[in-house]
A and B are shown apart, each in its own frame.
Chain A
Amino acid sequence: MPSEIGAVHTNGDGGLNYLNNGHGLRSWLLTKDHKRIAILYLITVSIFFVIGGVFALLIRINLLSPSGLFEPDTYNRLFTAHGVIMVFFFLVPAVPAILGNFLLPIMIGAKDLAFPKINLLSWYCYIVGACFGLVAIIAGGVDTGWTFYTPYSTSFSNSNVLLVGIGIFIVGFSSILTGLNFIVTVHTMRAPGMTWFRLPLFIWAHYATALVIMLATPVLAITVALMAIERVAHVGIFDPSMGGDPVLFQHMFWFYSHPAVYIMVLPAMGVVSELIANMSRKNIFGYKFVAMSSLAIAVFGFLVWGHHLFVSTQSVYLGLIFSFLSYAVAIPSAIKVFNWTATLFKGSISYDTPMLYGLGFIGLFLIGGMTGLFTAALGLDVHITDTYFVIAHFHYVMVGGSLMGFLGGLHLWWGKMTGRNYPEYWARAAAVIQFVGFNLTFFPQFLLGYLGMPRRYASYPPEFQLLHVLSTAGATILGIGMLMTISYFIWSLKNGTRATPNPWGASGLEWHTSSPPPTENFLTTPIVTWEAYEFAPMETMDVLGYPGEPHTPAQPVHSEHGTED
């Protein structure tokens, strides 16, 4: 077959692939293969996701009764642990470090990322930093909230701020190194014929994300470092009693942490672009607009941090500007959503699990984005600042966006990554359960926040109890859904059916190699002669006997040395 760039016949028992090419712990811990590093990330990041999830459930259990079950101080430590773990150890690395690491070189036809050793180093940075975080939690936790606002975090809190600060500093380098690898790889290692506007949108999204990572994360690093030194040495750059300015900390912190939201969501948007195109078998509507909107979001993302400071010493004129700029982010975001829906129009949509997550993403991100306009509105935000409305908003964006994108992508490429298929029935059930559970958890929180329930409180007036109980019920359902997903993924590793090279009949380069791919991704360097998302019509597929057979694009693929059959 002319389209066989990779070892399509080596899947299954007989073939050598990246998973069985080398055995033992050593071959994994010292690997320089981007696919193996992605698997290392998958395992460790998932562990932190579970830990963060347990803390989330503890928070919800505490809020079952108005008086709260735990001491307020314990509660502070619970939500801080939840926030720190989920933001820094799960959401930021989840899509780029796992799916991006695995797929980015394959999708552009490269053998590996540009700097394989640096890639491995980034995983070790993650592990070391995350260990600092874990040690801090075991040693008693932190009670500052994940934002570490000064001067509480530098002068008053009697908790392990220093340890967590060091942990975040190190984890920051992990994500900088990943971003560096992505940018250089996309620039220098695209296969012949893979022009910029033939790149899958997944790559565009990761490229934009890498830009944000590289420009924002160092600022967080220095901010956390200054905070840590200030805490140890009692020198005052943020401490007002020494002439310092606590608001400077907020500016510097949000200069990273607002763009960080796009570090979490942009890669997920890239995943969703793939999901929507592949599952509706259509070229993505307005490819260039979707690609450029990723860059636009990345750029705008740097200009809006001030909307976190509407109520802290900012002048009303500055607030107006930041409010306007925050509204402006809605434009590229809306471009994406409109183009996805336009892609779905008259598509041959299949409602497989990845697509359910893709649609879930659109629904949840829509709610998250629309409520983002509430929080970006200067006047309204004064009312809802630091209430459950904000909590609900950013969970819809970050969890509904990032987590749905992550799970959708994981399902789409699970066969490619592990060589095994997950059970479709259970996966669909889990996706629906998660969607229901998610909405039941966070929609009541919009109401709570609008009614005035402040965030980070361990107890509340009794009239809020009904909504809190609903929310906890939703969290339980969401937790069950997650448990299902984790269970059948692990189950499938041993018992799943063998994955075929291209089960979805998709057109990207990653589907032109075996599942799982060989160590250098392709046997010969692919030469790309087709545009992104060029799908054969359904009828052709039936003639060819899909699924299972790789599909022949309109223009045949020429490989340099022919194919080895």
Chain B
Amino acid sequence: MALIETERDPARVEMHSHRHPRLVHHFESMEQQREAGTLGMWWFLLTEIMFFGGMFLAYTVYRHLYFDAFAAGSNVLNIWWGTFNTMVLIGSSLTMALAVFHAQTGNPRKVVIFLLATIVLGSVFLRVKYIEYNDKFVEHVFPAGDFRWPIVNESVRPNNIGDLLLMLVGAEHLNGAGPAEAVPEKPAINNASQTAEQAADPLMAGHVRMFFWIYFAMTGFHALHMIIGIGILLVLIVQTRRGKFSKEYHSYIELFGLYWHFVDIVWIFLFALLYLIDRHP
């Protein structure tokens, strides 16, 4: 009884009317609401670090145990695609940061533009990842199924930006080079010299396979995060267009920005550890 009366109490109704329309019932102020959201996001990202940490641990252990195999596996990865994707992703971080900036200054039109740009760049990243994965299937270095080592079927590997862009738009055949004949001029770094001795070592094949398993697990979980991120971006665009956000209320965009930057940082670590670290002559 008292509760019902309280809710009808004019004093309280008046108090409620001062509340920002986006202030959820259980928070006292916008500042508190925003603080809670930000803190929650940082803690969530901490759990994400622990989540990827398990795989980084496996990577560290096996790289230590099977150094040669990891170096060989690492050299099969395509550094051009990796570099390209790193740049794409850093670019998407920039567009995301700009979207957050315009959200803070209350410019929804530009927020939509930059969120769209982020989606485009994220999709380019995933498209490249798909091409890379496909290469690994063609080369039979996908760890499950028909794994073969050393590589017998060296497929399309772009060696310059031109090849890269052609393949990106799916027009590699326009270049006159189908997958089967497009043998790179400089075949798979220095594998050729190692091939003979590696062929004699069946253990080596198993260990390279382990490298690729870790590669697929880590980049796969990373790509999953990208896909989820693009889904959330679509929702955010719809919400922005409907005018949900304002100068006073934009934490969703800010918080998603944190998530997106985190995913980028994970990729930068993956790129360094998987593509770069063993690429010495």
User: Hey, which bits of chain A sit against chain B, CB under 8 A?
Assistant: 7, 9-10, 14-17, 110-116, 176, 180-181, 183-185, 187-189, 214-219, 221-223, 226, 229, 233-237, 242-245, 248, 251-252, 518-520, 523, 525, 561, 564-565
Contacts and interface: CB of A to CB of B under 8 A. Distances in A.
Q: Which of A113, A184, A216, A223 has the most CB of B within 10 A?
A: A184
B183 interface: no
B106 interface: no
Contact of A520 (B26, B46, B54, B207): B26
A263 B116 CA distance: 42
A111 B54 CA distance: 37
B213 A10 contact: no
Given A184-B39, A188-B39, 15 more contacts: A15-B3, A114-B36, A176-B47, A180-B43, A181-B40, A183-B39, A183-B43, A184-B36, A187-B36, A218-B51, A222-B221, A236-B209, A237-B210, A243-B203, A248-B57
28 contacts: A16-B1, A16-B4, A110-B26, A113-B26, A114-B26, A115-B36, A180-B47, A187-B39, A188-B39, A189-B26, A216-B50, A218-B51, A218-B53, A219-B53, A229-B217, A233-B144, A236-B206, A237-B214, A242-B209, A245-B62, A248-B61, A252-B57, A518-B3, A519-B3, A520-B26, A564-B2, A564-B6, A564-B9
Contacts of A242: 206, 209-210
A180 B210 CA distance: 34
B51 A219 contact: yes
A112 B26 contact: yes
Given A243-B203, A243-B207, A235 B144 contact: yes
Contacts of A188: 32, 35-36, 39
A545 B52 CA distance: 59
Given A16-B4, A561-B12, A564-B2, A222 B55 contact: yes
Nearest to B53: A219
Contacts of A112: 25-26
B26 A215 contact: no
A523 B36 CA distance: 22
B47 A215 contact: yes
Given A16-B1, A564-B2, A235 B209 contact: yes
A223 B9 contact: no
Interface in B1-58: 1-6, 9, 11-12, 24-28, 32, 35-36, 39-40, 43-44, 46-48, 50-55, 57-58
Contact of B44 (A114, A116, A180): A180
Contacts of B25: 111-112, 520
Contacts of B158: none
Given A187-B39, A236-B210, A222 B26 contact: no
Interface of B is mostly: helix
A330 to B, nearest CB: 26
Interface residues of B, number: 48
Nearest to B66: A243
Interface of B: 1-6, 9, 11-12, 24-28, 32, 35-36, 39-40, 43-44, 46-48, 50-55, 57-58, 61-62, 65-66, 143-145, 203, 206-207, 209-210, 213-214, 217, 221
A189 to B, nearest CB: 7
Contacts of B58: 226, 237, 248
A115 B251 CA distance: 14
Contacts of B66: 243
A243 B48 CA distance: 28
Contacts of B65: 243, 245
Contacts of B52: 222
A116 B26 contact: yes
A118 to B, nearest CB: 8
B207 to A, nearest CB: 5
Contacts of A245: 61-62, 65
A525 B55 CA distance: 46
Q: Which of B5, B46, B54 has the most CB of A within 10 A?
A: B54
A350 B66 CA distance: 64
Given A16-B3, A236-B206, A252 B40 contact: no
Given A16-B3, A218-B48, A221-B51, A235 B213 contact: yes
Contacts of A234: 144
Contacts of B145: 233
Nearest to B220: A229
Contact of A222 (B9, B35, B51, B213): B51
A217 B221 CA distance: 17
Contacts of A565: 2
Contacts of A252: 54, 57
Nearest to A244: B210
A292 to B, nearest CB: 21
A518 B26 CA distance: 13
A216 B46 CA distance: 11
Contacts of B51: 218-219, 221-222
Nearest to A245: B61
Given A233-B143, A243-B210, A561-B12, A219 B54 contact: yes
Q: Which of B2, B36, B50 has the most CB of A within 10 A?
A: B2
A226 B144 contact: no
Nearest to B55: A222
A180 B40 contact: yes
Contact of A214 (B6, B46, B203, B213): B46
Nearest to A116: B26
A208 to B, nearest CB: 14
A17 B62 CA distance: 58
A184 B44 CA distance: 11
Contacts of B207: 243
A10 B3 CA distance: 8
B203 A223 contact: no
Nearest to B147: A235
Q: Which of B40, B52, B207 has the most CB of A within 10 A?
A: B40
B43 A214 contact: yes
A185 B66 CA distance: 46
Contacts of B214: 237
A234 to B, nearest CB: 6
B182 to A, nearest CB: 28
Contacts of B53: 218-219, 222
A321 B159 CA distance: 51
Nearest to A233: B144
A221 B40 CA distance: 20
